[in-house]
């Protein structure tokens, strides 16, 4: 036998289930009163610098049906590309938001500031993007993806550049529907399946 490694193995994931809101967004579950307010209601506070934008979309399964029980979390830097806690970061941008698909329509809405570009370890910058994490009944390990913007220069982004099949790049780019308004649908499976990440 060889020596054993010092590292441990990550705890395996399990689905968040249909009642994830009880723990994460209790008021959505019809369970108010345990906490003063749900965690991560907004990634920005009044006075946040930059352009306030709204992203609307749905999480769509392999049959074309929008999930009514998905929960999402987003993480992003401020308008200058600094994450909360980093030197000079905008104190009005926590950068974290937690939101659910509407139980009737399946639509979600994220109101935030448009993020700035973020440096990449190997040099260069990443185009502005918001990291997104999706959990739901039927999803056994949370799905990670990114929201980019069609009115930004995405041509040199290191992640988008790694996507061999160029038509798939479009699945990560939010479409501008009006000034400050974007549409971003997540397709879990099938035609135009969203690119999901392992990073």
CB of 74 to other proteins, least distance (A): 9
67 binds other proteins (CB under 8 A): yes
Cβ nearer to other proteins, comparing 103 with 181: 103
What residues numbered 124-153 form the site for other proteins, per CB under 8 A? 126, 129, 131, 133, 135-144, 146
Rounded CA-CA distance 40/96 in Å is: 6
What residues numbered 151-190 form the site for other proteins, per CB under 8 A? 158-159, 162-163, 168, 188-190
For tokens 């579950």, what's the residue? Answer: 29
24 binds other proteins (CB under 8 A): yes
Cβ nearer to other proteins, comparing 1 with 178: 1
198 binds other proteins (CB under 8 A): yes
> Which residue, 85, 83, 80, 93, is CA-closest to 46?
93
> Which residue, 140, 122, 129, is CA-closest to 173?
129
User: In the set 56, 118, 170, 185, which binds other proteins (CB under 8 A)?
Assistant: 118
Rounded CA-CA distance 116/82 in Å is: 8
Angle at alpha carbon of residue 135, lines to 132 and 108, rounded to 5°: 60
14 binds other proteins (CB under 8 A): yes
């Amino acid at each position: 036998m060889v020596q054993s490694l010092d590292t441990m193995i990550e705890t395996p994931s399990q689905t968040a289930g249909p009642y994830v809101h009880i723990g994460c967004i209790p008021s959505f579950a019809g369970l108010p009163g345990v906490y003063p307010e749900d965690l991560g209601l907004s990634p920005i506070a009044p006075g946040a610098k930059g352009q306030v934008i709204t992203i609307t979309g749905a999480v769509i399964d392999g049959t074309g049906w929008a999930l009514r029980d998905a929960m999402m979390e987003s993480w992003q830097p401020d308008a200058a590309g600094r994450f909360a806690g980093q030197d000079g970061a905008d104190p009005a941008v926590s950068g974290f938001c937690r939101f659910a698909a509407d139980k009737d329509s399946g639509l979600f809405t994220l109101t935030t500031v448009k993020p700035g570009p973020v440096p990449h370890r190997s040099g260069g910058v990443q185009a502005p993007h918001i990291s997104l994490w999706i959990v739901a009944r039927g999803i056994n390990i949370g799905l990670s993806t990114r929201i980019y913007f069609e009115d930004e220069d995405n041509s040199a982004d290191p992640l988008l550049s790694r996507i061999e099949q160029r038509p798939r790049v479009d699945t990560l780019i939010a479409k501008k529907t009006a000034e400050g308004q974007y549409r971003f649908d997540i397709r879990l499976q099938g035609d135009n399946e969203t690119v999901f990440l392992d990073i």
